[in-house]
Amino acid sequence: MGDDDQSIYAWRWALGYHGMKRFEQESRATMIALDTTYRCERRIVMAAAQLIAHNPNRIPKHLKTAKVEMGEVRVINCRTRDQELGVIADRLEEALQRDALASPPVPRTYGVLARTNNHLDLLETHLRGRVNYERVGGTSLWDLLGPTLLLGVLRSIANHDLIGVDALLGRCGYTDAQLAALRVACNIKVQGSGLRFIHCDMSTLRKINPDLVRFRQLYKEWSGFAHAGKLSNALGGIVAEISSQVEWGGRANPSPEVINEENRRLAACSNAISKLTGTIAEVVRKLELRAQSEAPKPVRLMTLHGSKGLEFDEVWMMACEQGVLPSTGGIVEEDRRLMYVGMTRARSVLTVSHATEGGTAASQFITEAGLFESVSVS
The residue out of 235, 253, 287 marking a domain boundary is 287
Domain count for the chain:
2
Based on the domain organization, do 320 and 339 belong to the same domain? yes
Which letter does DSSP use for residue 13 in this model?
Answer: T
Question: How far is residue 56's CA from residue 360's CA, in Å, rounded to a whole number?
Answer: 27
Type and span of the H or E element at 375:
strand 375-377
Type and span of the H or E element at 355:
strand 346-355
pLDDT tens-digit map of 211-252? 999 999 999 999 999 999 999 999 999 999 999 899 887 666
Type and span of the H or E element at 193:
helix 193-198
Based on the domain organization, do 339 and 376 belong to the same domain? yes
Mean pLDDT of 294-312: 88
Q: Is residue 138 part of a domain?
A: no
Question: How far is residue 178's CA from residue 208's CA, in Å, rounded to a whole number?
Answer: 6
Q: Is residue 54 part of a domain?
A: yes
Q: Between 278 and 5, name the one with better pLDDT.
A: 278
Based on the domain organization, do 37 and 87 belong to the same domain? yes
| SS3 call for 130 | coil
Amino acid at 182: L
Query: Can you give the pTM of this predicted structure?
Result: 0.78
Please, which pLDDT band fits residue 137 given cuts at 50, 70 and 90? confident
Question: How far is residue 133's CA from residue 126's CA, in Å, rounded to a whole number?
Answer: 11
Q: Is residue 246 part of a domain?
A: yes
Q: Which residues contact 141 (CB under 8 A, 6 or more apart)?
A: 120, 121, 124, 125, 135, 147, 265, 268, 269
Task: Measure the CA dihedral 11/16/22/27, to 10°.
Answer: 120
Based on the domain organization, do 265 and 278 belong to the same domain? yes
Based on the domain organization, do 281 and 156 belong to the same domain? yes
Q: Which residues contact 308 (CB under 8 A, 6 or more apart)?
A: 6, 8, 341
Domain that holds residue 24: 1-132+291-378
Angle between helical axes of 231-245 and 256-274 (0-180°, round to 10): 170
Q: Is residue 9 part of a domain?
A: yes
Based on the domain organization, do 277 and 328 belong to the same domain? no
Mean pLDDT of 291-298: 60
The residue out of 239, 265, 287 marking a domain boundary is 287
Please state, rounded to an integer, the average pLDDT across all residues of the chain: 89
Mean pLDDT of 258-265: 86
Based on the domain organization, do 2 and 34 belong to the same domain? yes
For position 178, what pLDDT does the model report?
94
The residue out of 227, 256, 287 marking a domain boundary is 287
For position 293, what pLDDT does the model report?
44
Phi, psi for 114 (deg, rounded to 5): -140, 160
For position 260, what pLDDT does the model report?
87
Q: Is residue 260 part of a domain?
A: yes
Question: Which of 12, 28, 27, 20 minimizes the C-alpha distance to 58?
Answer: 20
* Distance from the first to the final alpha carbon of the chain: 47
Beta-bridge partners for 135: 301
Question: Which of 268, 146, 227 minimizes the C-alpha distance to 219?
Answer: 227
Question: How far is residue 33's CA from residue 318's CA, in Å, rounded to a whole number?
Answer: 31
Given a cut of 70, is residue 356 above it in pLDDT? yes
| SS3 call for 281 | helix
